[in-house]
Amino acid sequence: MSKTIIGKSIVIDGEISGDEALLVQGTVKGKIVLKEDLVIEGSAQIEADIEADTATISGQVTGNISAATKVDIRSDARMIGDVRSPRITIADGATFKGNVDMDV
């Protein structure tokens, strides 16, 4: 499986969509729509609604997340927004403000 990386110094303002996995280290504002996995690292700043198969969240995310399989909010994540997925984990130490919907 191929993976695209958005580096720490990259800023994207707009919509990202695709069939590949994505690793975000930089800044994304807009919308992310993927058929594969999304990993947001601790250095990332995201202001976007997200749709993916799975989403692993570190860093700062403002926006709603919808994942077909799982959302994993790690201990270093700061998340504001609603999460919709059949499986959701929120690690001890994570900051989360929003609603959780597991009825998918």
Confidence of residue 103 (pLDDT cuts 50, 70, 90): confident
pLDDT of residue 1: 58
Q: What is the dihedral of CA 96, 52, 41, 62, to 10 degrees?
A: -40
Q: What is the mean pLDDT of the chain?
A: 96
Count of other CB atoms within 10 angstroms of residue 2? 8
Question: pLDDT tens across 3-43, in order?
Answer: 899 999 999 999 999 999 999 999 999 999 999 999 999 99
pTM above 0.85, yes or no: yes
Confidence of residue 59 (pLDDT cuts 50, 70, 90): very high
Question: pLDDT tens across 87-96, in order?
Answer: 999 999 999 9
